Structure 1
Amino acid sequence: MKRVSIYSWLLFILILFVWEVLAKQMSELVLPAPSVVVETLIEGLMSGYYTPHIIRTSLEIVIGLFLGSLLGMLTGILMGEVEFIRKLLFPYVIASQAVPKLALAPLFILWFGFGMTSKVVITALICFFPLMENTVTAIQYTDRQKIELFRVLGANRWQTLFKLKIPAGLPSILAGFRVAAVLAVVGAVVGEFIGGSEGLGALIIASQGMMDTPLMFSVLILVTIIGTLIYQIIYLIEQRLFRYKNGS
């Protein structure tokens, strides 16, 4: 495991080295060197220039992820448990996911304004489907022998759901949550592309307008860091949860 980690860091250093070499042969407008990007990033963080944008985007990600995941999980449980509702809603859910959220963004901005609400709605809709799909799958494919055992023991539908189906399907549900967490970053930033004066997405558009490529790269690094941190936090919570579950 340690050897794999060392190789990963070596690959990272190699990528930076190749990037630095290529950047020396190009204009900074096309490809800024990593040293220039890091300098821009540190200056922006030290001056507080990035702070309001980081806070705005982070709030949109967290709120959108929470609402989208909550709605996705509840809908997934309902569709997994009730076949009639699953057959009734599933075509509409698929149809809603077939429409690119970027195409709907101007409509959401028209309905909810240029503030945070429209970005939260876009983020929530993007987060909804992975958790809904994984929850439906987890509920549907619970071990039938275990379900029969619960019935023999006299467990009702709710007891079977909360004490067997959801705990047994937790790995699949949490996997969907991890995917949703990554997509939440995409949703918030894309929403800020369309309409917004604050947030990392809006800052990327502003840097494009100013032809400030180092600023654009530094903001992309911030977006990557935020997405990675959220993913790692969820992963650590998942590991602790399974460790507690196995221990008990």
Structure 2
Amino acid sequence: MTMTAEPTSTTKVPRRRKAQPDALPTANRGSAVAKNVGLRLIVPAVVLLAWWYTTSRDMVSPLIVPAPGDVWDALDSYVLGGVWNEDILSSARGTLWSFAIGLVLGIVGGSIMAFVASIKTAVYPYILAFQAFPKIAVAPLFVVWLGYGDAPKIIIGASLAVFPVISATMAGLIDVDPDEHNLMRSVGASKRQELRHLRFPRAMSYVFPALDIAVVGALLGVITAEIVGTEYGLGRVITERAAYGDSAAVYAVLIVLAVAGAILHLAVSTLHRVMPRSIVPK
């Protein structure tokens, strides 16, 4: 009787080679990006076509909707020609300072109110009340108090940037999965380790989506203060050009602001992607 030897633990069993997951999706990813870019170009193309058709047929007054060519001439003269350089730099500087101050105050204030309930109870309702104030109404007060420099617009911009960061920070620090919290306790993690490895990453996952709102709020606050009164800035340009009936220049400023908003959004998205996963869960 012939005995068949059973395979021992040292017998090598050939393993199936794993399929390369990135080979096919790379092509698909490229086509998806191209499709998304094409879809995003449809809306501006339709708007530009309708804009050109409306103005070329004199269907609306040039004081209300100037021709695309006139707006391009304004961009060429004022932006590319460097006439608005100081105003653009002033608005950009005010926006960045407003965003930075709002970010720091929002994270610090949100962290304090997340862990000290009495401070949240005492302070947060007044933050909500101040947020409800129309900033165009309080901006003249800051201009009277602080003059026509950068200070009033930085304060207004920071006041709009800080609220979404405060709310997101509080929500992220408080909204912790109970199972994850119990796991940290079961392994004997300290309060500092719990904050570093659980609550802080969770808070950052809330804060980064709020940064898009915060940075746009900072820009809007700065422009609002500049419209009320300032020495330099794109808001001042809007007021000045509108007073002269130069609608093409006003539209040119709006285009510059739209481009600035897109750049700020791209900067926040890029920062989110490059941050380590240990700090910001993707």
Q: TM-score, normalised by structure 1?
A: 0.94
Which residue does 2:70 correspond to in 1?
36
Provide the aligned length of Structure 1 versus Structure 2: 248
Which residue does 2:4 correspond to in 1?
none
Question: 2:244 pairs with 198, 210, 213, which one?
Answer: 210
Which residue does 1:221 correspond to in 2?
255
Q: Contact (CA 8 Å) 2:204, 2:280: kept in 1 or not?
A: no
Question: 2:53 pairs with 21, 37, 42, which one?
Answer: 21
CA distance in 1, matches of 2:197, 2:252: 47
**Letter of the aligned partner of 1:148 in structure 2?**
N
CA distance in 1, matches of 2:280, 2:92: 33
Structure having greater relative contact order (Cα 8 Å, sep ≥ 6)? 1
- 1:68-120 deviation digits (Å, cap 9, x = unpaired): 11101111111112222222222122122122222111111122111100100
More displaced, 213-222 or 85-94?
Answer: 85-94
SS at match of 1:35: helix
Which of the two has greater helix per residue? 1
Q: Contact (CA 8 Å) 2:205, 2:280: kept in 1 or not?
A: no
CA distance in 2, matches of 1:207, 1:175: 35
Which residue does 1:195 correspond to in 2?
229
Question: 1:8 pairs with 22, 35, 40, which one?
Answer: 40
Q: Cα distance, 1:11 vs. partner?
A: 2.4
Q: Contact (CA 8 Å) 2:226, 2:234: kept in 1 or not?
A: yes
More displaced, 149-158 or 38-47?
Answer: 149-158
Which residue does 2:144 correspond to in 1?
110
Larger Rg: 2
Q: Cα distance, 1:157 vs. partner?
A: 2.4
Q: Contact (CA 8 Å) 2:110, 2:167: kept in 1 or not?
A: yes
Which residue does 1:129 correspond to in 2?
163
SS at match of 2:76: helix
- 1:19-53 deviation digits (Å, cap 9, x = unpaired): 11112213322211122211210121232101101
**Letter of the aligned partner of 2:52 in structure 1?**
E
Runs of 4+ in 1 over 3 A off after TM superposition: 242-248
Percentage of matched positions with identical amino acids: 26
CA distance in 2, matches of 1:244, 1:68: 24
| 1:243–1:36 Cα change, 3 Å | farther
Q: Contact (CA 8 Å) 1:142, 1:169: kept in 2 or not?
A: no
| 1:57–1:246 Cα change, 3 Å | closer
Which residue does 1:179 correspond to in 2?
213
Q: TM-score, normalised by structure 2?
A: 0.83
Q: CA RMSD, aligned part only? A: 1.9
